[in-house]
Structure 1
Amino acid sequence: MAGYRAPRHPQVEDHARRQTLIARLVGLGLIWILVAIMALVAERAIPDQHLPWKPLSVIDPVGAATRAKAARTGQDVAACRGVLAKGGLTYVIAPETEDGFCSVKDAIQITGGMAPLTPADAVMTCKEALAVAIWERQVVQPAAFGAFGHAVVAVEHYGAFSCRRIYGQAAGPPSEHASANALDVASFRLANGEVVRVKDHWDDPGAKGRFLREVRDGACRVFITTLSPDYNAAHADHFHLDMGGAPLCV
């Protein structure tokens, strides 16, 4: 019948609304209880390196949250330096410089606590130095012992800070090197005197080639950008490792 309206029952409707509200509150409470239980289980059962809310430590193995925690910790210079010191790394503060589009601020030079960087005058932002220290401790050294039975006693590089644009071009965006936020690693000197070079051994089918690929893959879990000879010819002789570019692992 046109114009017919079903009769309303205010008490029934109020009761239904209350029941719906109660059901939603109970459901929300159960969700929060479940989240709390999961967080408690994670705190007790999952290692710190996999939990993004846990403090970063140089002595922890590389985990699912390491790269994100290194990037976040590196934003706070005091916290970054504290993590390095707590992990046994020593360093000196580098002087600040400003030259056009190039600048070095809050940078350091690592002086001990890891295999020396050669040359020793590698000026890096704290977050880059922190990533380098974690990579050396938790990736490079275990890979070297696994492949050769020897420690790496020097990490040889082509430089960290360099006032230039990407690929040294006259125009274009500044390189991460222009802010001391990158390191180009060329080779690794072992305790037995051998040297594993990126340019000579990347395609080696034996232990040296496997070692280089293992440390490249491990770098991808620590640094924001990791570029190897697989990227292009410009990186045929080194690994580019930085903490400021776009996420990339090649």
Structure 2
Amino acid sequence: MGHLGSVNRSHDRSERRISPVFIGIFAVMAVTGWAVWTGYSTSTGLAVFLFVTAAWIVSLCLHEYAHARTALHSGDLSVGAKGYLTLNPLKYTHALLSIVLPVLFVIMGGLGLPGGAVYIERDRIEGRWRHSLISAAGPLTNVAFAVVCTAPFWLDALDGVPMAFRFALAFLALLQVSAAILNFLPVPGLDGYGIIEPWLSHRVRREVAPLAPFGLLAVFALLWIPEVNAYFFGVVDGLLSALGVSDLESYCGRDLYRFWQDANGFCTAS
């Protein structure tokens, strides 16, 4: 019996051991962040690109981990066996949706695309509040990440922070804020709907369920409308401004990030 208990504990530890894949991504973030800070890289734009991309993937992993960890403590013990607690993005149900597409959207347009591909066995979980908290845990991680990224701004602690690193943090904060807003939308398929879903009637949930695969597509179709896009980024810029980040800083960060394009003349990393 003691031997069996030891095996189970060892198995539990292996299910929660941080993946070398995540450690590697985190190391890229740390090294390229240092390169941006020190100006060590011969291409500041490339260093910013690698730093922000790695940091964005780290935040996506933490987003999914938050869902899984909250589900674990709410009663779904299966998340460990699925590898969700290792922070390995390759373990997600849809790595394409959780990692590849969000990164592509950042590269193409500077928008924090919500991920979302950990399968929670909801029938193992009792209580509507627990279901709502599981859905809220992911976007709350983006909120926390945004607060950390903007801390030097709202703490007025930017003295000595190199301009390139300052711009990179501002752009990364923009990604986190936009991802949090999109995730909190009460649209089927997004975390915002997952928060309110347990409180809806069974009939409403049954009728809305078929719409879930198309919710995110509908949101992005709306964002193609110039007026909607302008309003959305107006909200994002307003929240960033409240955190001490100007729209000039965040968009200069985007210009540095997209190093393969000609940067605006007023955005200088020197």
Q: TM-score, normalised by structure 2?
A: 0.29
Using CA pairs under 8 Å that are at least 6 residues apart, name the structure with larger relative contact order, 1 or 2. 2
Query: Whose strand proportion is higher, 1 or 2?
Result: 1
